[in-house]
Amino acid sequence: MSGLRTDHETLQTFTAAVLCAVGLSEPDAALCADTLVQAELWGHASHGVLRLPWYVARIASGACNPTAKPRVLQDMGALALVDADNAMGQVATTFAMDEAVRRAGTYGIAAVSVRNSNHFGTAMYYTSGAARRGMLAFLSTNASPAMAPWGGRERAVGTNPWSWAAPAGELPPLVLDIANTSVARGKVYLAHQRGELIPLTWALDGSGRPTDDPQAAIEGLIQPMAGHKGYAIALMMDVISGVLSGSAFGAGVVGPYHPEGRSGAGHFAFVLDIKRLMPLGEFTGRVRELVESLKRNPVAEGSEGILYPGELEAANDASSRNSGILLPPDTVRDLLALARAYDVTPAFLPAAGPLNPIPKGATA
């Protein structure tokens, strides 16, 4: 078996069925499945269905509460604190972002802090959704340790990703979604699954040497982006996500890669209702003018063109909905194992004929 190409709807149905089998309600399972498959569609397979076995393992061990109902613990109008009750991060963050959007609609601006949550997938899933509702949105989270503090040699700081999104009218939203390391840790796991080497700039091995071996990188340190600046930004994201929410922080956060142990992840959502400052159409028109001015910039030699943040994901989404999603062999193996373990029909497999091979060097 060399891998396969499958359609997103079938993959999403299968993913939701597995999550239902381990105790999630149908709406929560559908939500979590959508976040994973949407990551695949955007071209971020590192945050796609390869994570499904990790989530299932954490639910099965009791590390994550599949039936949790997040609730507002403190309601201060434009400001709220949410207790996620150890829910799936996708469930908790959707609840929090919906609260932030609703409150911003009332007050013009809103912030929601979340404690006792779990890994939520791709941050842009939530910020881009708020942008499509006419909001300027920010979301941050903390994560389990992946890098050393600047000048240190042991893992103590998470990748602690964050995202901004803004509506752009008829254009796809402008969306920034980045980890504060040179690369999201999930991309290292994806390279490991595919049997690929990684760039030497991504990580250090256990002895502090640059490595192109993804397994050595997993056991070692992920490099911060932009040197000390990436470390400093990650630290501040932990302050607003973990420290401020009353959740875990620093080395106390447990990641989705570990089947046991409460995560304690914290999040912070900020939403601004654009129409309180100017008509939404005027704002999106100005954003379009900004994008068009960037597109007029002369293209550098070797460049394939100028893109704005979020444009590539939108193009990947359109392409993948038409041509299907490529799943690496190890991901297929893991999904089949889940299908057997939880008696779920692996509907993502082709109905007949051999599996479609993934061309060498192709990405999902």
Structure tokens at 76: 């201060």
pLDDT at 355 over 60: no
The pLDDT of residue 153 is 86
pLDDT at 291 over 70: yes
Enumerate domains of the chain plus CATH numbers: 1-61+314-349 (1.10.1530.10), 68-180+224-296 (3.30.1370.60), 182-223 (3.30.60.50)
Specify whether the CB–CB gap between 110 and 98 falls below 8 A: no
pLDDT at 289 over 50: yes
Q: What is the pLDDT of residues 154-185, one digit of tens each?
A: 999 999 999 999 999 999 999 999 999 988 88
The pLDDT of residue 187 is 87
Q: What is the pLDDT of residues 66-85, one digit of tens each?
A: 999 999 999 999 999 999 99
Specify whether the CB–CB gap between 121 and 89 falls below 8 A: yes
pLDDT at 249 over 50: yes
Neighbours of 330 (CB within 10 A): 16
**316 or 186: which leads in pLDDT:** 316
Average pLDDT over residues 76-97: 99
Q: What is the pLDDT of residues 133-157, one digit of tens each?
A: 999 999 999 999 999 999 888 999 9
Q: Which residues of 215-232 are buried (b: 16+ CB within 10 A; e: fewer)?
A: ebbbebbbbbbeeeebbb
Average pLDDT over residues 287-306: 97
Q: What is the pLDDT of residues 266-287, one digit of tens each?
A: 999 999 999 999 999 999 999 9
The pLDDT of residue 2 is 64
pTM (2 d.p.): 0.92
Amino acid at 203: A
Provide the mean pLDDT of the chain: 94
CA-only gyration radius of the chain, Å:
20
Q: Which residues of 99-134 are buried (b: 16+ CB within 10 A; e: fewer)?
A: bbbebbbeeebbbbbbbbbbbbbbbbbbbbbbbebb
Specify whether the CB–CB gap between 2 and 328 falls below 8 A: no
pLDDT at 190 over 90: no
pLDDT at 361 over 80: no
pLDDT at 360 over 80: no
The pLDDT of residue 255 is 96
Which of 212-221, 292-301, 345-354 is least confident? 345-354
